[in-house]
Chains A and B, each alone.
Chain A
Amino acid sequence: GDSVTQTEGQVTVSESKSLIINCTYSATSIGYPNLFWYVRYPGEGLQLLLKVITAGQKGSSRGFEATYNKEATSFHLQKASVQESDSAVYYCALRASNTNKVVFGTGTRLQVLP
């Protein structure tokens, strides 16, 4: 079946430093999946951060970027300069082209130090 792997359970970065959160995926269905990053801020619900539905494209939102790399089956999340308010749990996810089921990674907790 489809799966998403986030290797880091927690990442700690100092404010204004750069960030990368790794995400790789495996999709067994025909066609390329849609890829997403969701974020959950403390005390809040899950929010869509960005999405990319076309292989090779880049998505961006709130200073975060992720590129859909179908050769590497990766969708890493990057930000050039993090802020303390970015502290949250980030979930990589995919939705196969022939289903409405979203498959999530285990999440990466980002802690930004002041």
Chain B
Amino acid sequence: DPKIIQKPKYLVAVTGSEKILICEQYLGHNAMYWYRQSAKKPLEFMFSYSYQKLMDNQTASSRFQPQSSKKNHLDLQITALKPDDSATYFCASSQDMGGRSAEQFFGPGTRLTVL
């Protein structure tokens, strides 16, 4: 059974619209993260959450807003979508932050295409 679920697997949106990417983890972890991988680029860290609190935000644009309704959920809301937002978005989680327990496990990703 998958331990980190991301929905949907593929998503197509039009410029200017808003979408929510879903992430749920069933590993009992306390920390969750979002990464993005654009074409021909490495995965880039976006956010980290610990116990549903934002710990680090490396995304310049406020159009990207994580939402954590439960400890094992970290959704990503993206508003006013642009073609440059097209990428695969990966959710990850770790037991806690810091030390050996910080090993991160990744979900399968959501591939977003903005037309």
- CB within 8 Å of B: which residues of A? 4, 38, 44-48, 51, 53, 91, 93, 95, 99-107
A93 to B92, CA, bound (A): 14
Interface residues of A: mostly helix, strand, loop or mixed?
strand
In the complex, are the beta carbons of A44 and B56 less than 8 A apart? no
- A102-B45 CB under 8 A given contacts A45-B109, A48-B105, A95-B102: yes
Task: Tell me whether A103 and B103 are in contact (CB under 8 A).
Answer: no
**B100–A99 CB distance below 8 A:** no
The one of A46, A48, A106 that contacts B90, using a Cβ cutoff of 8 Å: A46
A100 contacts B107, C-beta separation under 8 Å: no
Please state if A38 and B42 are interface contacts (CB–CB under 8 Å): no
Interface contact B97-A107, CB-CB below 8 Å: no
- A45–B4 contact, CB under 8 A? yes
State in angstroms the CA–CA spacing of A99 and B106 once bound together.
17
Please determine whether B103 and A48 come into contact, CB atoms closer than 8 angstroms.
yes
Residues of chain B lying within 8 A (CB to CB) of residue A53: 100
Knowing A45-B109, A106-B42 are in contact, say whether A100-B103 is a contact too (CB < 8 A).
no
- Residues from chain A with a CB closer than 8 A to the CB of B42 are 4, 91, 103-107
CB of B47, distance to nearest CB on chain A (Å): 10
> How far is A100 from B33 in the complex, measured between Cα atoms in Å?
9
How big is chain B's contact interface, by range?
Answer: 20 to 34
Question: Chain B contacts of A100 at CB under 8 A?
Answer: 31, 33, 48, 55-56, 94, 97-98, 102, 104
**Smallest CB–CB gap between A66 and chain B, Å?**
16
Name the CB-closest residue of B to A105.
B42
Give Cα distance in the complex from A45 to B89, angstroms: 11
Bound Cα distance from A95 to B48, whole angstroms: 13
CB of A64, distance to nearest CB on chain B (Å): 17
The contact of A38 among B40, B45, B106, by CB within 8 Å, is B106
Provide the bound-state CA to CA distance between A107 and B37, in Å: 11
A3–chain B nearest beta-carbon distance, Å? 9
Those 7 A-B pairs whose CB atoms lie nearest each other, nearest first: A45-B108, A46-B106, A104-B43, A101-B45, A104-B42, A106-B42, A100-B97
